[in-house]
Amino acid sequence: MGVRHNCGWCVAPTLHDTYRIIKDLEHRGREAGGMFAVSHLRNRIDAVKWVGPIGDVFDLDGLNDFFESLIPVREYDYFGAHNRYATRGRKDLVLYDAHPHIIAGPDTIVEDHGIFMTMENVDGAIVHNGQVDEVFLSGIDESLLTTDCDSERLLRYLVNHGPEQLIRNVPGTYTLAAVSKENCKVGDIVIARDRFGVRPGYHAMKDGAVIAGSEDWALKKNGANRIFGNLHPGTIYSVSSNGKFSKGKVLPDEERKGCVFEMLYIANEESTLDEVTVGRVRAQMGRQMAKEIKLPGVQFVTYVPRCPRAAAVALAHEWGVESVQAFMKTQKRRSFMGPDEVERSDSIKSNLHLLRKNAELLRGKIVALIDDSIVRGNNIKYAIKLLNEVGVQKIHVLSYSPRIGIYDEFGRPSGCVDGTDMPPLDNFVSVNRKERRNRTLEEISREIGAEVHYLSLEGMFKALENSGVRDPRDNMCYRCMGGPIIFGGVERKIQLTVSANGNI
């Protein structure tokens, strides 16, 4: 089934801009990073990838030195970059599974340096956000594959069949940037977004050339002077060596299914997804919770940083109580994106801390603790532990995401198989896996260690509508919350997952 990603990617005409944009997208992934460079003049594609966050192995000067050792950096027309978080604990293969994925040619030189890998003069390269099941990528010579990543298969499918057939025949999920000597002249980068638009993508103009990436705020922050908007679902974009682009619509937008979890958690608060500001969405979630959940004894509202900030402030305002920032994160890394339970736990303990002076205000008080979601419960349990050590009287936990990972109305396990680390049979706090049923609210509260309240599914839709999202029930994917399966390959993946893990 391949390695799943919910990652960040970008393309830009300069090494400096590419590095800065992908570093600003690091909230989407920190396990590994990589970059490719394209030269039309030299008819070559070069690439490098590494283990760890952007800047840990290669800083900007280091990347410049690497590419300059091959050809003058000024002779590269465009760069593509990626940061990755994987949804499987494959620590021994992190480097090989990192992006870019390549197609090697007769003159390609690949060198594994342990924590980084250089790939000189390759025939093709791809950076990709999403997850594509191999059922849609048939006809590929398996003997040519060097990893089990869907991205490598996707690149080979693109080269073999062309971008239009990719859009028509592979429903999702992907937003990608790729270049190939075989299927297009070197110097042209193909950017494509699947028909559903589950994974985000934006393009803009800077200094007369196109730049693109996962989120528009990173493009704006790095000097984009004209934002074109979304990469349209079902559309191919071709970026030439001189920075100009052409657009080819292959399929209509009728099947658009943006990821609701992008809105609620993954994307940066300053980003715009499908023309709606993420921060506005989260504030509306807080207002809707204030309408649905009545806790008259609450004296303070706080939150687990950083996503729920807007929701907590809005909720406190509606309730007429004080909002206090009781916690801080020392780094922007996200424990959710750790490859396994041990690393997630270690990440939480080293990164989440009390702001002692603010937290003292909560001693002996009844507190509402806001979180964006409760997936496995690791974050919220540790936050509750810290508040209890301060001596709060009572904690109410409020999640503006409805229950994650529940069994749907047909008894099928939900979750995500399209790019977010929530596979259907994960250790969700909302289910009793042994008894194959959803836990009651009381059972979840006992597991978490505090009284838990969720925004309802209908309340979430109402908040999305109030934020400007059109027909969210029909136009967004909320499969992780028990919503409908959006295309057939997902159902097959669920069946395979259940089969692989027994009749669970």
pLDDT of 89 above 50: no
94 CB neighbour count, 10 Å cutoff: 20
User: How high is the pLDDT of residue 2?
Assistant: 36
Least confident interval from 2-16, 90-104, 368-382: 2-16
Least confident interval from 96-105, 223-232, 246-255: 246-255
76 residue type, one letter = Y
User: How high is the pLDDT of residue 106?
Assistant: 95
Cβ proximity of 310 and 269 under 8 Å: yes
Return the CATH fold of 272-500.
Rossmann fold (3.40.50)
pLDDT of 212 above 90: yes
Domain boundaries, the chain: 8-250, 272-500
User: How high is the pLDDT of residue 48?
Assistant: 98
What letters, b where the CB count within 10 A reaches 16 and e where it falls short, cover 268-290? bbebbbbebbbbbbbbbbbbbbb
User: How high is the pLDDT of residue 418?
Assistant: 84
Question: Of all residues in the chain, what percent carry a pLDDT higher than 90?
Answer: 80
Least confident interval from 92-101, 123-132, 245-254, 455-464: 245-254
Arithmetic mean of pLDDT, 372-385: 96
pLDDT of 502 above 70: no
Cβ proximity of 110 and 117 under 8 Å: yes
Average pLDDT, the chain: 91
pTM confidence score: 0.90
User: How high is the pLDDT of residue 341?
Assistant: 61
Arithmetic mean of pLDDT, 306-332: 95
Q: Rg for the chain (alpha carbons), in Å?
A: 23
pLDDT band of residue 332 (cuts 50, 70, 90) is low
pLDDT of 183 above 90: no
User: How high is the pLDDT of residue 488?
Assistant: 57
Arithmetic mean of pLDDT, 388-417: 96
Q: 447 or 485: which carries more pLDDT confidence?
A: 447
Least confident interval from 292-296, 338-342, 490-494: 490-494
Q: Could you say which of 3.20.20.70, 3.60.20.10, 1.10.3720.10, 3.40.50.300 is the CATH number of the domain covering 8-250?
A: 3.60.20.10
User: How high is the pLDDT of residue 270?
Assistant: 96
Rounded Cα distance between 289 and 454, Å, is: 8
Q: What is the 3-state secondary structure (H, E, C) of 131-151?
A: CCCHHHCCCCCHHHCCCCCHH
Rounded Cα distance between 504 and 501, Å, is: 7
* Alpha helices (H) along 367-413: 378-390
Cβ proximity of 189 and 238 under 8 Å: yes
What letters, b where the CB count within 10 A reaches 16 and e where it falls short, cover 349-365? eebbebeeebbebbeeb
pLDDT band of residue 5 (cuts 50, 70, 90) is very low
pLDDT of 485 above 60: yes
> What is the pairing mode between strands 124-130 and 174-180?
antiparallel
Instruction: Annotate 191-203 with DSSP letters as a single string.
Output: EEE-TT--S--EE
pLDDT band of residue 85 (cuts 50, 70, 90) is confident
Task: Name every residue whose Cβ is closer than 8 Å to that of residue 82 and which is 6 or more positions away in sequence.
Answer: 7, 8, 9, 22, 33, 34, 35, 49, 98, 99, 100, 127, 128
Arithmetic mean of pLDDT, 218-229: 96
pLDDT of 139 above 50: yes
DSSP code, position 26: G
pLDDT band of residue 349 (cuts 50, 70, 90) is confident
Q: Report residue 80 CA to chain centroid gap.
A: 17
Question: Of all residues in the chain, what percent carry a pLDDT higher than 70?
Answer: 90
User: How high is the pLDDT of residue 152?
Assistant: 95
User: How high is the pLDDT of residue 343?
Assistant: 64
pLDDT band of residue 345 (cuts 50, 70, 90) is low
User: How high is the pLDDT of residue 231?
Assistant: 95
What letters, b where the CB count within 10 A reaches 16 and e where it falls short, cover 183-197? bbebbbbbbbbbbbb
pLDDT of 496 above 50: no
Q: Please name which of 464, 479, 459, 402 lies closest in space to residue 277, comparing C-alpha atoms.
A: 464
